[in-house]
Amino acid sequence: MLEILNSKTTSYEEIFNREAEEKTDLEIEKQVLEILREVRLRGDEALREYTLDFDGVKIENLLVSEDEIKDAIGRVDPYLLSVIEEAADNIRIFHEKQKRENFEVREKEGVILGQITLPIELAGIYVPGGSASYPSSVLMNAIPAKIAGVARIVMITPPGRDGTIADVILAAAKIAGIRDIYKVGGAHGIGALAYGTETIPRVDKITGPGNIYVATAKRLVFGQVSIDMIAGPSEILVVADESSRADYVAADMLSQAEHDSDASAILLTTSLSLAQGVALELEKQIPHLPRSETARESILRRGKIVLVDSLDQALEWSNRFAPEHLELCIERPFEWLGKVRNAGAVFLGNHVPEAIGDYFAGTNHILPTGGSARFSSPLSVEDFQKKTNYIYYKREALEKDKDKIVAFAESEGLHAHGKSVSIRFEKKDKTDE
């Protein structure tokens, strides 16, 4: 049974040691560098070789055909198809609110400053596949890109042992409006998106979650292309009081523990009886899960139940941890929302399990992990946009500011910068424009 820790006798640092969790696996990095090098040099040939090595399947045509997509949709249960469509609508409604407007500033006579927001031209999205299917990840990546106005979206996902992509993945892609789908995954797939091959185009940005090899590849190609984030193991932190039910909280913790043995499921509670109840419920529920071995290992390695002095302390510790998912399973959760400083997503109340955000509510489930919620945000429409500033000065406006600009430039030792301004006023026959 999971031990109940007490904040009175055990410090935050003793309970949460992220430094040990974040050590880079240099052997994995070495392998990924070699994979990326081969993809860059040999393109599609390397992709086919790595797909055979890692996925156990020989792929001739990397591109998923229109017939394959059509046939896959026909095999998906109609009810599930309607659920995916409704989830897509919810995601669109929420993300439409994220669109930024262009703006101009005209506060000085003869001066116009402005910013225009433009979509990136080509986005590459990674969807985990092979032994598991994540149609939700298709929607969460593609819909914000579409709303941003991205002209072309390329999706890659690993094939199954039979060389096909799961029907539900292709159905979600169709609903999200993706046409270019390729049967490739792993670090080699990231390399294909970053460098381009004979078949797969080079993209401007790569988004989407993946395993440690995918995350490492994204980190290594950053700069060659943009990426959304370097996602680590999934996390849930539940702040709960005596109003919570132990079976609910345990189930919510296990919803993340089943992802990965490295996932973190944490409970901070002011109630000893709840802490004890959750510890018992974890033992009761784990054996009934199809992924019970993974869930148990996660709970034993990374699971925490901590008795805290107050909700204020719970929120303080939560903000230090900066979880991917934060559940406030407490009375009057909105009164405490203002104390949240660092979290990928917050779930308010005893009837809002994290799975709502994963699949259906409409917020994005691609969230910062590993404490990066301290400085980063969920995937959004803005991730698929870039901003360009513009400046216009009339001659008279530049003349008013020229000496200030020259002084600033020369203070940095950049005299040519200053000269580019002053030269415009050395002759009297300069035109206005």
Quickly state the pLDDT bin for 22 (edges 50, 70, 90): very low
What's the pLDDT at 433? 52
Residue range 269-290, pLDDT digits in tens:
999 999 999 999 999 999 999 9
CATH superfamily of 232-360: Nitrogenase molybdenum iron protein domain (3.40.50.1980)
Residue 347 has pLDDT above 70, yes or no: yes
Residue range 31-62, pLDDT digits in tens:
999 999 999 999 999 999 999 999 999 999 99
325 has catalytic annotation: yes
As a whole number, the mean pLDDT across the chain is: 95
CB atoms within 10 A of CB 146: 19
- Identify the CATH number of the domain defined by range 26-227: 3.40.50.1980
Residue carrying structure tokens 């052997």? 27
What's the pLDDT at 431? 55
Residue 21 has pLDDT above 50, yes or no: no
Full-model pTM:
0.92
Residue 342 has pLDDT above 50, yes or no: yes
Quickly state the pLDDT bin for 429 (edges 50, 70, 90): low
Closest by CA position to 160, among listed 253, 57, 81: 57
The pLDDT > 90 percentage for the chain reads 93
Greater confidence (18 vs 411) lies with 411
Residue range 175-229, pLDDT digits in tens:
999 999 999 999 999 999 999 999 999 999 999 999 899 999 999 999 999 999 9
What's the pLDDT at 17? 72
324 has catalytic annotation: yes
Side chain identity at 161, as an amino acid letter? R
CB atoms within 10 A of CB 160: 18
Which of 95, 188, 325, 365 is the catalytic position?
A: 325
Residue range 79-119, pLDDT digits in tens:
999 999 999 999 999 999 999 999 999 999 999 999 999 99
Domain ranges of the chain: 26-227, 232-360
Would 26-227 and 232-360 be classified into the same CATH topology? yes
Which of 235, 258, 324, 354 is the catalytic position?
A: 324
